[in-house]
Structure 1
Amino acid sequence: MPKETEGVDQVFKAMADPSRRKVLDLLYANNGQTLSSLCEDLDMQRQSATQHIEILIKANLVSVVWKGREKLHFINPVPIHEVYERWVRKFEQNRLGFLHDLKVQLEGENDGKK
């Protein structure tokens, strides 16, 4: 399997779980949190939270920075953007083009002139 495909698969698998999506939401709202601060808002034990975060790290969705003895977690939006570019954007372009064509058809091509 090509490395690019493997990375995208890891992103999809990581984001498939609602608990991991919640971790990403928490980091989006307040980036650079410790495990303890993340656990305060998660309905799970510390060990389970650690396992979910490790999956997010392997998918490159979360990065870790050590600040002294604190391990801070940061969201990495790049893989999400890459998924968007590959899987969402191309479908949006077709939809937006269709809506534009429909608007022109319904309103006529008179550019607002009566």
Structure 2
Amino acid sequence: MLYDSLGSKKDKDLSHWDRNFRQIFQAHLPIYLIKSEVMARRNMDPNTYHVSFMYETNVPRQGGLYGDCGIWVTIFLNRLSQNKPLSFRKPVQAALAYCEHLAEFYWKYKIPVPKGSTQ
């Protein structure tokens, strides 16, 4: 399932980049799953495994003004991993609030780097 905060796309509306991404992903994901032994552990048959693309339709739309694509990736990962719904009354405000929350979190748990360090 693809969660696209820019809005779902129909196959005929895909850009060259999207089409290329799909082809590469479909070719390389099975190889990764075989090499990492995921298919073997889950008793999956590599000969019948295939990748398909489905866009979720009920996904919040990013505002576009604040460069909030990345924050929506983290929101989706967080909420989907906790089985929480993806619905928001005000998506732009939700993205800004989540940015503030992450900034506070990372400031609280920051690791000081000594001056002159090349890290």
Q: TM-score range by the shorter chain?
A: under 0.3
State the structure with more CA Rg: 1
Structure with the higher helix share, 1 or 2: 1
User: What is the TM-score with the length of structure 2 in the denominator?
Assistant: 0.22
User: What is the TM-score with the length of structure 1 in the denominator?
Assistant: 0.23
Q: Per chain length, whose mean CA-contact separation is higher, i.e. which structure has more relative contact order (CA < 8 Å, sep 6+)?
A: 2
Structure with the higher strand share, 1 or 2: 1
